[in-house]
Chain A
């Protein structure tokens, strides 16, 4: 569904952000895009959405080159950015202006989502807190029913009860023909929703596997003594014990610890990549 080929991009000369980056994403999945600050997560999302253009290579979404920004491409993709501006108008006015750009927009679900988030629909958007605005934008994004839905740090600014509502909305929104991409640092907010992990580092995609494959090939556990277990791919030691990643002998069915996996991939990349090749 999304095909990025040999993408090279830099904001400033001689400081490349992406170099020959390749990535393919399929429909029916929730991808979690992880990376350090400044690794280029948001830039990659903007490339997919056609908001910035490659220096070399291309992004293709459903047969459309993103950079061409054709209407048929734009009506089937939605990006919820981390920083955004909403005009000083009422929610209803906003919907009447922007919804017509999305042919599959569903007004009923939009207002149902707002109700679930406790957002009064008669309120002016500039009178809302950051979190409330974000909820409006998330509700709008889901109501557009676009094939590609991109969210940059969606849980930032959401209060505790809304995070649970957000997870329910994403769980209900995913379908076989939709591709949802979420970038996040708050992995624990979303780790049961993400079914494929994509890690970006050092100008490249360094890791891309579905959670099921990760569970099959790696074990995540906490042990008291590192000496008691065989090969350790990565260990994070604290007073409570050692959180370790080991190769899976085929019998373990542990839960993927995404934070641990992320740290492991960034510090001990080769042995982990070898296991998946």
Chain B
């Protein structure tokens, strides 16, 4: 995994784990690699991976079963979407809105663009 310079490592690892879940590589209710295994594979400090796991546990994306390890929550996919949606609204939307405002674009004006985008990318179906 290549880390970017722009975001804290523990969040990049969280994104990596979420991606594994969304791609169904790590299915719900399965055990994920241990903190140490992840730290070695990603070449990072185990304390950083611990912080990632605490965050994902707080978001109810993974569950800690004492003495066994971390497991993907049954409804992890739903939780990840909620979490990502919130992050999108908090982080990316403000600068997007700023551009709309500066350029005087209304939301109604955007609708056809979005419909076109959905058609070309996803054939009208979500995902």
Which residues of A come within 8 Å of B, CB atoms? 28-30, 164, 167-168, 171-172, 174, 192-195, 211-212, 215, 221, 253-257
Contact = CB atoms under 8 A, between A and B. Distances in A.
Given A172-B39, A212-B51, A253 B46 contact: no
A192 B11 contact: no
Give the interface residue-count category, chain B: 20 to 34
B58 interface: no
19 contacts: A28-B47, A167-B44, A168-B41, A168-B43, A171-B45, A172-B36, A172-B39, A172-B40, A174-B39, A174-B47, A192-B9, A193-B43, A193-B45, A211-B48, A221-B6, A253-B7, A254-B7, A255-B8, A257-B5
Contact of A192 (B41, B44, B51): B44
A29 B48 CA distance: 11
B101 interface: no
B45 A30 contact: yes
A6 to B, nearest CB: 30
A192 B36 contact: no
Interface in B41-71: 41-48, 51
A254 B45 contact: no
Pick the 8 closest A-B CB pairs, nearest first.
Answer: A167-B43, A171-B39, A192-B44, A253-B8, A195-B45, A171-B40, A172-B40, A195-B47
A171 B44 contact: yes
B3 interface: yes
B46 A255 contact: no
Interface string B1-32: 00111111101000000000000000000000
Contacts of A253: 7-8, 11
B40 A192 contact: no
A192 B51 CA distance: 13
B44 A193 contact: yes
B47 to A, nearest CB: 5
B39 A29 contact: no
A101 to B, nearest CB: 27
Contacts of B39: 171-172, 174
B35 to A, nearest CB: 10
Contacts of A195: 45, 47-48
Contacts of B5: 255, 257
Contacts of A28: 47
B44 A255 contact: no
A254 B6 contact: yes
A174 B45 contact: yes
